[in-house]
Amino acid sequence: MARVRVRVYAKLREQLGFKEKTVEVDTLSELIRDLGVSNIVIAVNSELVETSKASRLRLVDGDIIDLMPPFSGG
């Protein structure tokens, strides 16, 4: 298992009840499932990741995961 830092932004903070925490998981999809979130924007080490690729992305110690609501605007 990888020890990673998860940072949460905007309305997801309220939904999840934290701003930042460290967790131990193997894959990005495992993290998303454990948190019970969907329809989010994900960045791993400051690089955006498509949600469809989450199941194949293995995490390593020290990774920083940013979770944000979808962007919108004009």
What are the structure tokens assigned to 2, written together? 């990888």
Walk along the chain (74 residues) and give the pLDDT tens digit of each residue. Answer: 999 999 999 999 999 999 999 999 999 999 999 999 988 999 999 999 988 888 888 899 999 999 999 877 66
φ/ψ (deg, to 5) at 15: -60, -45
Residue 74 lies in a domain: no
Residue 53 lies in a domain: yes
Residue 42 lies in a domain: yes
CA distances from 63 to 9, 15, 55, 72, 73 (A): 17, 23, 16, 27, 29
Domain that includes residue 41, residue range: 2-68
Is-above-0.75 flag for pTM? yes
Number of domains in the chain: 1
What are the structure tokens assigned to 7, written together? 């940072």
CATH classification at residue 25? 3.10.20.30
Residue 63 lies in a domain: yes
Residue 73 lies in a domain: no
Neighbours of 70 (CB within 10 A): 7
